[in-house]
Structure 1
Amino acid sequence: MVANPQRRLSVIDAALTVLGDRGGRGLTHRAVDAHAGLPVGTAANYFPSRAGLMLAMAERVFKLLAPSPEDLAEPDEARGEAFPRYVAAVVQRLLARPHLATALIELRLAAARDDAVREVIGPFLRAGVAADVDFHRDRGLPGGSDLVLLAHHAVNGILLDQLTVPLDPEADPVDLARRMAQRLAATAGPSDA
């Protein structure tokens, strides 16, 4: 068992940068060691399996992109405006750290190609959606699990568009997310709490 949490974190952060910059094929233990400036074999010592490294990366991305207390503060606006504000804040946080957003997309692509990675990333991502549904219900926001899932899909599309070849290079992705969330919330039924 490896006992240096700071070195482990350095390996994970280096892996995220390598994945975000080079894609799944560029993510090797050797590339992570080189990027982190660590001796060859360090990444493999901490994460013998690719799936284990991928899960640690996913957990780190979600921790780094977690909303601030200000983002989660009870809004003064009407409940109908809180959901669009939360969704826009997610897009803003992700695009402020594009290598992390790209790494998230790459993690999902790796899971699509590798059963071992899929087995650890799939449950982790689904648990994240379930936590978002709980947050949504706890805040008394309109809609429910269906609205949260639709918002996840829409945010993923906005991110993919912005991080690759934007269909409208002049569009503000945060404003797109806010307007999309407003429209989704306007058509949502009561919460399925």
Structure 2
Amino acid sequence: MSSDRRTLLADSAIDVLADEGIRGLTHRAVDRRAAMPPGTTSAYFRTRAALLTALVTRLVRLDQAELQTMPGELPALRTAEDLVNGMALLTHERLTGEGRRRSLARYACTIESVRDPELREILVPRENAGREAVRLFLAAHGVEDVENRTHTLLTCVDGLVFDGLVSGGEVPREALEGLVAAALR
């Protein structure tokens, strides 16, 4: 039950952060969101730092789970169009529904991690099936310096997601096509 409650509190913290921003993330706000008695969150996560660590850890786990399953939802990445389609699916997921909420929380935590090395370490991009699919695609197309190109491509896509969150828009397919074309040069 303890780990279930910790997960519920971390998920509730993600929701609070997505809805209210970093200033709204308090133990009391998480208690309310989780429909728990006052003091529950602070009993599990004594400090704000502990709460943020739990939130970021949960956020990374959710993101990793999504990225591990996503390639199974796509056909094999053989063409540039296949890769663009996969990135379009990912960016759409990151800008709508639960993905949007997690993206808002992730960017808030990313800014917070500038001052918190522990958070930064948790948020460092991890290996996942999505990243590996991009790496393999670029290698199969003879791209030199695959690691750097993969990192650059995915960082640019992340920037487009950030822009979509801020502007309330979608990631233009043409932008994804341009990024893939540049990565293949």
Residue from 111, 114, 119 that aligns with 2:117: 119
Deviates more, 1:52-61 or 1:34-43: 52-61
Question: Of 148, 152, 158, which residue of structure 2 is paired with 1:156?
Answer: 158
- Cα deviation 1:45-77 (Å, max 9, x = unaligned): 222233332232223223334136453367345
Q: Find the counterpart in structure 1 of residue 38 from structure 2.
A: 40
Stretches of structure 2 that go unaligned for 5 or more consecutive residues are none
**Any stretches of 5+ residues in structure 1 without a counterpart?**
188-193
CA apart distance, 1:178: 3.0
Q: CA RMSD in A?
A: 2.7
Q: What is the identity, as a one-letter code, of the residue corresponding to 1:75?
A: P
User: Which letter does structure 2 place at the counterpart of 1:150?
Assistant: T
The 2-side partners of 1:40 and 1:141 are apart by: 51
For residue 39 of structure 1, report the CA deviation from its aligned partner.
1.3
Contact conserved, 2:21 with 2:108, CA < 8 A, in 1? yes
Q: CA deviation at 1:161?
A: 1.6
Distance in 2 (alpha carbons) for counterparts of 1:17 and 1:46: 18
Q: Structure 1 residues 41-50 or 139-148, which shifts more?
A: 139-148
Aligned residue pairs, count: 175
Partner of 1:141: 138
* Aligned 8 A contact 1:91 1:174 in 2: no
CA contact (8 A) 2:153 2:183 kept: no
Q: Report the TM-score when normalising by structure 1.
A: 0.74
Structure 1 residues 66-106: Cα deviation after superposition (integer angstroms, max 9, x where no partner): 13645336734525445434433321221132111101111
Task: Kindly indicate whether the alpha-carbon contact (under 8 Å) linking 1:83 and 1:141 is maintained by their aligned counterparts in 2.
Answer: no
Matches within 5 A, 1:1-193: 4-65=2-63, 66-67=66-67, 69=69, 71-72=71-72, 75-78=75-78, 80-96=80-96, 97=98, 98-112=100-114, 115=115, 118-128=116-126, 130-131=127-128, 136-137=134-135, 139=136, 141-142=138-139, 143=143, 144-165=146-167, 169=169, 172-173=170-171, 175-176=173-174, 178-187=176-185
Q: What code does the residue aligned with 2:12 have? A: A
Shift of residue 185, structure 1, vs aligned partner: 2.3
State, as a whole percentage, how many aligned pairs show the same letter.
25
SS in 1 for 2:75: coil
Pairwise CA distance, 1:183: 2.3
In 2: Cα distance, 1:173 partner to 1:164 partner: 11
C-alpha deviation, 1:177, in angstroms: 5.5
Equivalent pair of 1:20/1:103 in contact (CA under 8 Å): yes
Q: Which amino acid is the alignment partner of residue 18 of structure 1?
A: V
Question: Is contact 2:77–2:133 with CA below 8 Å preserved after alignment?
Answer: no
Task: Output the CA distance in 1 between the equivalents of 2:52 and 2:175.
Answer: 27
| Aligned-residue offset at 1:141 | 3.0
Aligned counterparts of 2:40 and 2:174: Cα–Cα separation in 1: 42
